[in-house]
Amino acid sequence: MQQWPDGNHIAEMAAFAAVAELGSFTKAASALSRDATVLSRRVQSLERRLGVRLLTRTTRHVAMTEAGAGFLVQVQAIMAALAEAQEAAAAHGSGEARGTLRLALPATFGRMWIAPLLPDFMAAHPQVRIDASYANRFVDLVAEGFDAAVRLGELADSRLVARRIAPRRRLLCVAPSFLERYGAPERPEDLARLPCLAFTGLASHPNWAFGHARGERVTVRVDGPLVSDDAEALVHAAVQGLGIMLSTDWLVGRELAAGTLVPTLAQWLPQDEGAIYAVVPSNRLLPAKTRAFVDWIAHRFSPSPPWRVQ
């Protein structure tokens, strides 16, 4: 069984850290509202228990030994963890969301549909500070210290607790000007002879897979004037009539609503699994700030997400 430090050990480490950081027993005593002799006894007790000198003392100056400098780094980490634990416990006790909330958000989706809403969340929870990272990668929430993430698609990490906050669907879309020039495809196989705009980040690129309600499955190899790892660049090209785009509804929701893009081959649903999820680490209690964010984002995307064209 792990041996936990008792209250005296923590007090000793706090005294040592204060003296080491301020370089003076007098200054440390003032900062901690303790008598300097009390701090001196605690540091001496700590040194006896560890069997090593941590500080060198003169009448005018206090300095760390090499062992003391290394120990200070670890003590500071321990004290920070204790402060964070107390903050989380206090938040749980009061039910009040507060503290720094670290979020990992998908770059494009996050900028389009979450960033504009975050001021509303912060207005509702004024004691929460948000540290948001926008990146198109699956971060390790536990190792990188994130409180929550929003993820698209399938989830394979069993260490995470996921809450489905919105559906997503793939579709083929095209500009009306493209249809006027080429006509509408009737079957997926027609895409092999038509200009297509391909996203190279798709795992199956350059193949697009389709399924019909009747159970028929078709895979088509596509090509066209533009391929890119930036989906927004492909949307701009599609609006200009350069080709047919395989997209997700959240990416082209505004264009569909405006009529600058329209669905095509709607009866053939591109094969896709997954949805949009809020995920949190499963190996620790959920702080009030994290629970508040997950509940909030699920509510904002329900009953229908803001990009869904009715």
| Distance (Å, whole) CA 35 – CA 163 | 52
pLDDT digits (tens, 9 = 90+) for 237-263: 999 999 999 999 999 999 999 999 999
Residue type, 229: D
Domain assignment present for 1: no
Confidence of residue 1 (pLDDT cuts 50, 70, 90): very low
Domain of residue 205, CATH code: 3.40.190.290
Of 155 and 80, which is predicted with more confidence? 80
- Answer yes or no: do 246 and 296 share one domain: no
- Answer yes or no: do 40 and 61 share one domain: yes
Q: What is the DSSP letter of 201?
A: T
Q: Which pLDDT belongs to residue 96?
A: 80
Of 227 and 302, which is predicted with more confidence? 227
- Answer yes or no: do 56 and 75 share one domain: yes
Domain of residue 45, CATH code: 1.10.10.10
Domain assignment present for 240: yes
- Answer yes or no: do 162 and 177 share one domain: no
- Answer yes or no: do 14 and 38 share one domain: yes
Q: Which pLDDT belongs to residue 2?
A: 42
Query: Is the predicted pLDDT of residue 92 greater than 60, yes or no?
Result: no
Alpha helices for 110-248 (secondary structure H): 118-124, 141-144, 176-182, 231-239
Domain assignment present for 135: yes
Query: Is the predicted pLDDT of residue 84 greater than 80, yes or no?
Result: no
Domain assignment present for 266: yes
Q: What is the pTM of this model?
A: 0.66
Q: What is the DSSP letter of 183?
A: -
Q: Which of 62, 94, 126 is the last residue of a domain?
A: 94
Instruction: Kindly state the helix (H) or strand (E) to which residue 64 belongs, with its residue range.
Output: strand 62-64
- Answer yes or no: do 207 and 139 share one domain: no
Cis peptide preceding 305, ω within 30 of 0: no
- Answer yes or no: do 137 and 123 share one domain: yes
Structure tokens at 148: 């929550």
Of 295 and 80, which is predicted with more confidence? 295
DSSP-assigned letters across all residues of 151-177: EEE----TTEEEEEEE---EEEEE-HH
Structure tokens at 19: 């003296």
Q: What average pLDDT does the segment 72-100 reach?
A: 76
Counting residues of the chain whose pLDDT is more than 70, the rounded percentage is 91
Structure tokens at 189: 């196989």
- Answer yes or no: do 41 and 84 share one domain: yes
| Distance (Å, whole) CA 130 – CA 101 | 5
DSSP-assigned letters across all residues of 194-229: S-EEEETTSTTTTEEEEEETTS-EEEEE---SEEES
Residue that is written with structure tokens 């897979």 in the block? 209
CB proximity list for 97: less than 8 A, separation 6 or greater? 91, 125, 127, 128, 287, 288, 289, 291, 292, 293
Domain assignment present for 218: yes
Domain assignment present for 306: no
Q: How many domains does the chain have?
A: 3
- Answer yes or no: do 105 and 253 share one domain: no
**CB neighbourhood size of 271 (10 A):** 14
Domain assignment present for 310: no
Per the DSSP assignment, residues forming a β-bridge with 161 are 280
When the pLDDT of each residue in the chain is averaged and rounded to a whole number, the result is 87
Range of the domain at 243: 170-270
Of 87 and 133, which is predicted with more confidence? 133
Domain assignment present for 2: no
Torsions phi, psi for 22 (to 5 deg): -95, -15
Q: Which of 94, 115, 144 is the last residue of a domain?
A: 94
Q: What average pLDDT does the segment 163-181 reach?
A: 93
| Distance (Å, whole) CA 205 – CA 214 | 25
Domain of residue 290, CATH code: 3.40.190.10
Query: Is the predicted pLDDT of residue 91 greater than 60, yes or no?
Result: no
Q: Which of 73, 94, 115 is the last residue of a domain?
A: 94
- Answer yes or no: do 264 and 182 share one domain: yes
Counting residues of the chain whose pLDDT is more than 90, the rounded percentage is 53
- Answer yes or no: do 90 and 16 share one domain: yes
CA-based angle 254:256:257, to the nearest 5?
Answer: 65
pLDDT digits (tens, 9 = 90+) for 184-208: 999 999 999 999 999 998 888 999 9
- Answer yes or no: do 129 and 174 share one domain: no
